[in-house]
Amino acid sequence: MELIAQLVGIVGDAHVLTGDDAAAYGKDWTGKYTCQPRAVLRPANRDQVCAIMRLASDTGTPVVPVSGKTGLAGGAFADGALMLSLERMNAIREIRPDARVAVVEAGVILSSLHDAAEAQDLIFPLTFGARGSAMVGGVLATNAGGSNVVRYGNTRDLCLGLEVVLPDGRVMDLMSELHKDNTGYDLKDLFIGAEGTLGIITAAVLKLRPKPRAYATAMVAVPTLGDALSLLNRLQEETGGAVEAFEYMPAEYMARLAECRPDLRPVFAETHAVNILVEVGATAPRDAAPQPDGSIPVATQLEEALADMLENGALLDAVVAQTQAQRAEMWERREAAAEITFSRLPLVDNDIALPLDAVGIFLERMETRLGELDKGADTITVGHLGDGNLHYAIWPSRDDAALIDTLREAVEDIVADLRGSFSAEHGIGLSKLATMRRRKDGVALDMMAQIKAAFDPTGIMNPGKLLPS
CATH number for the domain including 142?
3.30.465.10
Mark out the alpha helices in 324-429 (DSSP H runs): 324-335, 337-341, 359-373, 401-417
Per-residue pLDDT tens over the stretch 383-425: 999 999 999 999 999 999 999 999 999 999 999 999 999 999 9
pLDDT > 90? residue 457? yes
- How far apart (Å, rounded) are the C-alpha atoms in residues 120 and 349? 39
- Is 460 a domain residue? no
Mean of all residue pLDDT scores within the chain: 96
Domain that holds residue 40: 2-85
Final residue in a domain of this structure, among 58, 85, 112: 85
- 157 and 237 part of one domain: no
Sorting pLDDT into bands at 50, 70 and 90, what band is 76?
very high
- 310 and 422 part of one domain: no
- Cα–Cα nearest to 75, from 405, 464, 469, 468: 464
Residue 340: per-residue pLDDT: 92
- Is 455 a domain residue? no
Final residue in a domain of this structure, among 150, 177, 210: 210
- Residue type at 123? I
Residue 32: per-residue pLDDT: 85
β-pair type (63-66, 82-85): parallel
- 415 and 386 part of one domain: yes
Residue 31: per-residue pLDDT: 82
The answer to whether 379 and 411 have CB atoms below 8 angstroms apart is: no
- 328 and 351 part of one domain: no
Sorting pLDDT into bands at 50, 70 and 90, what band is 469?
confident
The answer to whether 334 and 249 have CB atoms below 8 angstroms apart is: yes
Residue 374's CB is within 10 A of a number of other CB atoms, namely 21
- Is 193 a domain residue? yes
Residue 29: per-residue pLDDT: 81
CATH number for the domain including 405?
3.30.70.2740
- 100 and 180 part of one domain: yes
- How far apart (Å, rounded) are the C-alpha atoms in residues 102 and 437? 38
- 306 and 219 part of one domain: yes
- 121 and 154 part of one domain: yes
Residue 137: per-residue pLDDT: 97
**b/e map 42-53, b = 16+ CB within 10 Å:** bbeebebbbbbb
Percentage of the chain modeled with pLDDT above 70: 100
CATH number for the domain including 53?
3.30.43.10
- 332 and 219 part of one domain: yes
- Is 448 a domain residue? no
- Is 256 a domain residue? yes
- Is 270 a domain residue? yes
Per-residue pLDDT tens over the stretch 7-63: 999 999 999 999 999 998 998 888 888 999 999 999 999 999 999 999 999 999 999
- Is 447 a domain residue? no
Residue 365's CB is within 10 A of a number of other CB atoms, namely 18
Strand order in the sheet with 101-105: 92-96, 101-105, 200-207, 159-165, 171-174
Residue 28: per-residue pLDDT: 84
At CA 420, angle to CA 415 and CA 421, rounded to 5?
95
- Cα–Cα nearest to 267, from 231, 324, 316, 319: 319
The answer to whether 245 and 150 have CB atoms below 8 angstroms apart is: yes
Residue 1: per-residue pLDDT: 80
Sorting pLDDT into bands at 50, 70 and 90, what band is 206?
very high
- How far apart (Å, rounded) are the C-alpha atoms in residues 301 and 238? 8
Per-residue pLDDT tens over the stretch 114-154: 999 999 999 999 999 899 999 999 999 999 999 999 999 99
- 321 and 267 part of one domain: yes
- How far apart (Å, rounded) are the C-alpha atoms in residues 315 and 409? 35
The answer to whether 107 and 125 have CB atoms below 8 angstroms apart is: no
- 70 and 143 part of one domain: no
Per-residue pLDDT tens over the stretch 150-176: 999 999 999 999 999 999 999 999 999
Residue 30: per-residue pLDDT: 81
- 273 and 244 part of one domain: yes
- 66 and 112 part of one domain: no
pLDDT > 90? residue 72? no
Residue 11: per-residue pLDDT: 98
The answer to whether 466 and 195 have CB atoms below 8 angstroms apart is: yes
pLDDT > 90? residue 212? yes
- Is 141 a domain residue? yes
Per-residue pLDDT tens over the stretch 189-200: 999 999 999 999
Final residue in a domain of this structure, among 312, 337, 362: 337
Per-residue pLDDT tens over the stretch 250-297: 999 999 999 999 999 999 999 999 999 999 999 999 999 999 998 999
Looking at the 3D structure of the chain, how many domains does it have? 4
